[in-house]
Structure formats: C-alpha cells, structure tokens
Amino acid sequence: MSTLPNGLRVLTTALPSSQAASLSFFVRVGARNEQPRTNGLSHYIEHLLFKGTQRRPTAALISEAIEGAGGQLNAYTSQEVTCYWNALPFEAMETGLDVLADMLQHSLLDPVEIDRERTVVQHELRRSHDSPGAWAGELIGRAVFGDQPIGWPVGGSLETVAAMQRPDFIAHIQAHYTAQNAVLSVAGHVQHAQVVELAERHFGDLARGTPPEGAPARHGLPAEHVIVEERPIEQTNLVLSMQAIGRRDPDRYALDVMNTVLGRGMSSRLFTEVRERRGLAYSVGSGTDRMRDIGTLTVSAGVTREHEEEALQVIVYELRRLVDEPVPGDELQRCIDYVAGSLRLSQETARTNGQRYGNQLIMDGELETVDETVARIRAVTAEDVQQVARRIIGPGAFALAVVGPSASADRLDALITA
C-alpha cells in the first residue's frame, strides 16, 4: 500500500497467474452520510457518474472504452461505501484506470441526464417495492434501526429522488469524493510501482479533503419494531432481525460461526428444522451485516400464511437455543470448516481479492489477510459462540418485517417476545 501526496491510498494485490486487472475505487459515503431530504443521493450519484464526462460525453462512450477491451464495469452503494469498479485483461489496466479517473473527476452531471436518470432510479425503487421479498428486506431496516440514517433505504424514496437537483449532487461530491476519503484497490496481474505511477498521473489532482464521519448509530430497537404490510399474494415473506456488532468487534469471528450454525447452508439448523423436518418453508436462512459501529443478524423465510406463526416460533426457538446450549463439538467443527472454506473459495478472482482488501482499508484502516482471518475463525470455541449469542439474542432483541398475508403486528410481536 502507498499513499499519494494528496492522501489517496493505493493498494495492490498481486496475482501473477491471473489474466485480469481488477480496479475498484472506494469512497466512504453512503446512506448514513445523508439527510432526510437527500436520502438516496449517494446511490443516485453512483448512477450519474456513468452518464458522461468532458472527454466521453455519453454513457455509451464510457462503457465502450471498457467493453471494447473485453472488460466489465459497474458500481454499488451501501450504507457506508460507494464502489466503482472495472475489470479488464491485465494489459488494458491503464484504460480501466483512465476511465475510472475520468468518471470520478470530470463527470458532466448534465441536467438532461439527471432528469432522465431520475426516472431510471425511480423504476429501480418501484421494482424493489414490487418484489415482496426485497421489500421486506427494505422494511426491516426501519424496524431494527428506526428513523436514523443507517435505517434508511440506500436508494431513498420516490419523493426524495424526485426532489434532488444538480446543486445537491455537486455539494455531495465535493464533500465526499476526496483523496483522503477514498481508496484505489487494484488486483490481478499487476505491479505495485506501475499502479502507483499511473494513479498519481490520473488522480494526483483529486482534492485532498477531510474525511467526514457519518451519523453515529443509535442502539436499541425503535417502538415500531414489527412492521406488517398486507398483500394479497400466495407467500408470506418474513424477515427477523436484531442489532449486532460492528466491523472490528473481537467477537466477529464467533458471530460468523454462529450464523453458519443457525442458517447458512443446507445443513444449518434453520434449513434442517424449518424446511426439511417440518416443511414450513421453501427458503430459509440467516446472514450478518457489519457496519462501522453496529451490525445486524437477520433471518429470512418465505412461508404460507398457514405456516407463518409456527415458522416464526421455530426460528425464535433456534435463536434462543444458541444462547442456552453450547454448540456440540462435531457441529461446531463442521461450521468452522464451512466458514473458513467458503472464505477461501470466495477469493478466487482478482475482483473479489481487490474488493476485500479495498473495503477493509477504506472502512478499517488496516488489512487482514485471508490466512489471518482463517486462523481466527479456526480458533473459535463453543464458549465464544455462546458468548456472542448472549450479546445479541436477548429479551426485546427482535425486530420483524412481514410482506404478504399475515397475522396482526400485535400477534407477531407477542410471538417474538414470548
């Protein structure tokens, strides 16, 4: 890792056998850096930076520059990070870097394109709303965090997107798209010295800036922690969540193992009990999300109205069993092997390597190799798993979002607090 004079951190992961160069530019900005009026602004900007620059005034010219070299390009926005990436054959690395730098520093933000893309972003929001499972996933943010930035939808709402104007985009970019608030991560068949030289050439004029902090998380469930949206559809979509731990918490490895015991994969407790033994759901599983200072543990299931309450009771029972009973040794070892093995398999491409380390650097300011992570996963004990379960799964811990035919919010609240 090297730091340019303006403060931009440049990270490379050399993979000599790779045929690719994957470039990811991370900016530490997302929904938690927004205001109620501008919720969705970070995501909207992510769209707009693909719409034309001074040198490449159309979206087609940007995509053709990468795809014409055999590459791919895209971006994503989360609560805390926006990432722009492209991946090309390694000999075309400079093209990828040139396009990234052009998009990030010389976007036209043409008013015509802003209005055109406004409709596209709103279509994306409508698509999420029209997908019951996805919409339950949106609602759970409000149920578990309430009205605070980390509980707001990354895409905003139809109303906030409709109200945003060009000065909002310019002010947001000037505040957040700065060298000290960004990381360039390049992985594949690359040389660090060459990447740094090219980065200085293309990003050397990026303003240094002062990294702004997002709003701190408020802990504790809101009063409206059960949200039910009735829809006349065949399936009831349940999302049960609880506030958990942040990115650097020492218990994060134990949480990954605990989550695997609970609901990751076809041999997990939830899949075995809810689907295989009882036939209550086709899909059921769990996952974690960790932000700077807080996180979530979340269980999702698709059930019929007839099986909604029984499925919810089984899910809550399995969560509480993690608190009450140590995980048996053979099950613990199998889950540790799953976590460690799936991590290694997830890092088989240049893009996944570059994004793993770039995300660590932008969010944590330090790097942890896959071998280091695997060693810490393999050191997890049954006591560690039970300890983190006790931290997260306690009285009044559960938030719930439901989309579809459902029991009342009061009835469901009684089931998750019983």
The CATH number for 264's domain is: 3.30.830.10
Task: Report CA 288 to chain centroid distance, whole Å.
Answer: 10
List the domain range (segments joined by +) for residue 29: 2-203
User: How many CB atoms lie under 10 A from the CB of residue 306?
Assistant: 11
Note whether 24 and 99 are same-domain residues.
yes
pLDDT at 346: 97
The structural domain count of the chain equals: 2
Query: Rounded CA gap, 347 and 275, in Å?
Result: 30
Q: Which of 34, 46, 273, 318 is catalytic?
A: 46
Whether residue 144 lies inside any domain: the answer is yes
Sequential pLDDT tens for the chain (418 residues):
999 999 999 999 999 999 999 999 999 999 999 999 999 999 999 999 999 999 999 999 999 999 999 999 999 999 999 999 999 999 999 999 999 999 999 999 999 999 999 999 999 999 999 999 999 999 999 999 999 999 999 999 999 999 999 999 999 999 999 999 999 999 999 999 999 999 999 999 999 999 888 789 999 999 999 999 999 999 999 999 999 999 999 999 999 999 999 999 999 999 999 999 999 999 999 999 999 999 999 999 999 999 999 999 999 999 999 999 999 999 999 999 999 999 999 999 999 999 999 999 999 999 999 999 999 999 999 999 999 999 999 999 999 999 999 999 999 999 999 7
If asked whether residues 165 and 231 sit together in one domain, one would say no
What confidence score (pLDDT) does residue 213 get? 81
In a domain, 221, yes or no: no
Q: Are residues 32 and 162 in the same domain?
A: yes
Task: Specify whether 172 is located in the same domain as 266.
Answer: no
Residue 211 lies in a domain: no
Do 245 and 199 fall within a single domain?
no
Residues 268 and 375 both lie in one domain: yes
- Confidence at residue 369, expressed as pLDDT on a 0 to 100 scale: 97
DSSP state of 250: T
Check residue 54 and report its DSSP letter: S
SS3 41: helix
* pLDDT at residue 211, rounded to an integer: 86
pLDDT score recorded for residue 288? 98
Q: Is residue 13 part of a domain?
A: yes
135 and 16 part of one domain: yes
Residue 315 and residue 190 in one domain: no
Active site residue 366: no
Whether 189 and 248 map to the same domain: the answer is no
- pTM given for the model: 0.96
Alpha helices in 205-282 (DSSP H): 252-263, 269-270
H or E element that contains 212:
none
Domain identity same for 182 and 57: yes
Flag whether 215 is in a domain: no
pLDDT value of position 212 = 85
Length in residues, the chain: 418
Residue 210 resides in a domain: no
CA–CA gap between residue 3 and residue 7 (Å, rounded): 6
- Domain boundary among the residues 203, 235, 268 is at 203
Shared domain for 50 and 188, answered yes or no, is yes
Q: Measured between alpha carbons, how far is 184 from 24 in angstroms, rounded to an integer?
A: 6
Nearest to 293 by CA among 35, 29, 83, 32: 32
Asked if residue 217 is part of any domain, the answer here is no
Quote the pLDDT of residue 214: 78
Task: Determine, yes or no, domain membership for 302.
Answer: yes
Domain C-terminal end among 169, 203, 237: 203
* Residue type (1 letter), 281: A
Same domain for 27 and 151, yes or no, is yes
Please give, one letter per residue, the 3-state secondary structure of 147-204.
CCHHHCCCCCCHHHHHHCCHHHHHHHHHHHCCHHHEEEEEEECCCHHHHHHHHHHHHC
